[in-house]
């Protein structure tokens, strides 16, 4: 399996993802600059976190219009796994690959802290190694992480089981107190209808080794690996 890690001006979690894939899991992964126009040689892609283009206009808006996103869109349409983390999630919504939008946190400050997530859907290339309802510990680091969608679209996401991760307490209960950004329905991550495109605000690459506080995120990358063998 060969994974493309997409780099934009302002990406800053690219090498974190590379470390997890290459050094922790032994996956063949490469950093790919945004000016590339083809990704035919890769079996999966990860759009990492950061502040692409300084978050000008809107977070992810400029990056979503770069040449490489046409290649990412082709990968998605071909059914290959595409994961967007934090700024990557913002880029996926701005490019239309995922529904909804990421807006400024209800309390409009940058938040960097640990969060608990409930795994709502294990029928995806990224979550097959989790158990449905499992509570995992993954950190967040964002200012524009509030997931928004209108009522009808939100209900459609829920009905189609596209909500993959939800902010919860340690016991798995979603409530306002544990919602770090004001996301509707405590949503922390969603997929497209076919399940091969995942966007999430928390950072699984920062929770992939016990030495840094949690390895709960490692199963996402392992699931992706197993699904492509």
User: Would you name the residues annotated as active-site residues?
Assistant: 86, 203, 205
Beta strands in the chain (DSSP E): 2-7, 28-33, 44-47, 82-85, 101-103, 111-119, 135-142, 146-148, 163-168, 187-191, 197-200
Distance (Å, whole) CA 120 – CA 135: 9
Token digits for 169? Answer: 């307490």
d(CA 189, CA 198): 7
* CA atoms within a 13 Å half-sphere pointing along the CA-CB vector of 227: 23
C-alpha distance from residue 29 to each of 41, 68, 121, 124, 197 (Å):
11, 17, 26, 21, 18
């Amino acid at each position: 399996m060969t994974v493309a890690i997409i780099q934009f001006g302002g990406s800053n979690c690219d090498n974190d993802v590379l470390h997890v894939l290459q050094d922790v899991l032994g996956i063949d992964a490469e950093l790919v600059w945004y000016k590339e126009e083809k990704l035919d040689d890769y079996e999966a892609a990860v759009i990492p976190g950061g502040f692409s283009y300084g978050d000008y206009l809107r977070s992810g808006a400029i990056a979503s219009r770069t040449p490489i996103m046409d290649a990412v869109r082709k990968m998605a349409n071909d059914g290959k796994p595409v994961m967007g983390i934090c700024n990557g999630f913002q880029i996926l919504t701005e490019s239309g690959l995922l529904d909804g939008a990421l807006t400024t946190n209800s309390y409009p400050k940058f938040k960097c802290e640990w969060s608990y997530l409930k795994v709502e859907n294990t029928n995806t290339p990224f979550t097959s190694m989790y158990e449905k309802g499992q509570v995992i510990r993954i950190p967040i680091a964002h200012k524009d992480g509030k997931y928004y969608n209108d009522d009808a679209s939100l209900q459609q996401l829920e009905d189609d089981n596209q909500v993959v991760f939800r902010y919860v307490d340690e016991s798995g209960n979603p409530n306002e107190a544990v919602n770090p950004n004001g996301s509707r329905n405590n949503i922390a991550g969603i997929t497209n209808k076919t399940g091969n495109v995942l966007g999430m605000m928390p950072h699984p690459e920062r929770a992939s080794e016990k030495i840094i506080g949690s390895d709960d995120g490692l199963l996402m990358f392992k699931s992706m690996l197993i699904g492509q063998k």
